[in-house]
Homo-oligomer: A and B are copies of this chain.
Amino acid sequence: MNSFGNIFRVSLFGESHGSAVGAVLDNAPPGIPLSSEDFVLDMNRRKSGKKGTTPRLESDIPDIVSGVHEGLTTGAPIMIMIKNENTRSKDYSLFREMPRPGHSDFTAQKKYGGFNDLRGGGMFSARLTTAIVAAGVVAKKICSPVNYKAEIVHIGGNIDIEAELDSVMEDKDSIGGLVKCTGINMPIGLGEPFFGKFEAQLAHIMFSLPAVKAFEIGSGVKAALMRGSEHNDCFADENGKTFTNNSGGTLGGITNGNSIEFSVTFKPTASISIPQKTFNFEKGRIDTLIIEGRHDACLTLRTPVIVEACAAIVTADLLLYNRIYG
């Protein structure tokens, strides 16, 4: 289950404080230009260092280890690796004693019998999304001219995001947020019946990201309030263009050529500087946990490029898959 996709297949490796994170990408078509420079823009969009994000700075220039020769993809698996450079050797043993609320500390220890790499969240770290963004860069090339654009709608319900951040950071707290993504130039026919539905695969990969609590397509949660006469997207022309887009761009799980529209809700960052009353598994009683260091006040800020990458990965896979129909 460490892979996603049927044709364009992404397999991940790496941990937050190990030597590197990366991905193996199967079945990128041969002949696509690809170099390290192609990754700079999206990698920078994901990076921290801006207001509301942690000061952990990585150069994050990916190394293309295989699958590219003389600047072009060869058809062989593309292995992309991003070194971890700015890891700190801080002591994580406290989190075995007092697993952080909202983190994987507790479940990872239970699942792996304590052998998991707890440092920085190990393989559960959002650091892995670096590899997703890198995979997304390749996927976007495969997808073109399909183009996804993700944007933050609000954080904490506030569209004045700067103001909300100031308030949250002053309180040493964190805040959730909502990201909306639109895909244009969609072909008709992507997605397979039932388990292969376009939105099922989108939902799957979005919920693979850390901190996601909701995924909506088209009308989303509002659909529960709507009547059929309002929700139905009537056809407007011979290309399948519809007057409205409550479906979000699919019918029966298959793209209908209208824009893909979906939203992803992210929870607030779990690491906060505010002391928390939680169970101390060694002492056998409730204790006060103080998490040191600085953290993203709002992880949502970094996610638009990740959400785009995920959407592009699904789309690239289904575009290639669709070729089996000849």
Complex Cα–Cα for A29 and B254 (A): 17
A176 and B231 contact, CB distance less than 8 A:
yes
B112 and A30 contact, CB distance less than 8 A:
yes
Interface 9-mer from A40-48, A50-58, A114-122, A143-151: A114-122
* Chain A contact residues, CB within 8 Å of chain B: 1-4, 6-7, 9, 11-15, 18-22, 24, 26-27, 29-31, 65-67, 69, 72-79, 81, 99, 101-108, 110-113, 115-117, 119, 121-124, 128, 154-157, 168, 171, 173-178, 188-189, 192-197, 199-208, 210, 212-221, 223-238, 240, 242, 246-248, 250-256, 265-272, 274, 276-279, 281, 284, 286, 300, 320-321, 323-326
List chain B residues, Cβ under 8 A from A14: 65-66, 77, 79
Complex Cα–Cα for A235 and B154 (A): 29
Complex Cα–Cα for A224 and B263 (A): 11
A73 and B115 contact, CB distance less than 8 A:
yes
A255 closest partner in B (C-beta): B107
B106 and A240 contact, CB distance less than 8 A:
yes
B18 and A250 contact, CB distance less than 8 A:
no
A244 closest partner in B (C-beta): B101
Shortest CB distance A8–B (Å): 9
A284 closest partner in B (C-beta): B238
Complex Cα–Cα for A168 and B228 (A): 10
B208 and A200 contact, CB distance less than 8 A:
yes
A228 and B324 contact, CB distance less than 8 A:
no
Between A and B, 7 residue pairs with Cβ closer than 8 Å are: A3-B3, A101-B232, A102-B233, A174-B228, A176-B224, A203-B207, A213-B218
Main secondary structure of the interface of A (DSSP, over half): mixed
Complex Cα–Cα for A176 and B267 (A): 26
- Which of B188, B223, B225 is the one whose CB lies under 8 Å from A110? B188
Q: Which of A13, A27, A128 has the most CB of B within 10 A?
A: A13
A1 and B31 contact, CB distance less than 8 A:
no
A19 closest partner in B (C-beta): B65
Complex Cα–Cα for A286 and B3 (A): 45
List chain B residues, Cβ under 8 A from A265: 216, 220-221, 223-224
Shortest CB distance A255–B (Å): 7
A23 closest partner in B (C-beta): B24
Given A227-B168, A236-B279, A194 and B270 contact (CB-CB distance below 8 Å): no
Complex Cα–Cα for A242 and B99 (A): 12
B256 and A189 contact, CB distance less than 8 A:
no
A79 and B13 contact, CB distance less than 8 A:
yes
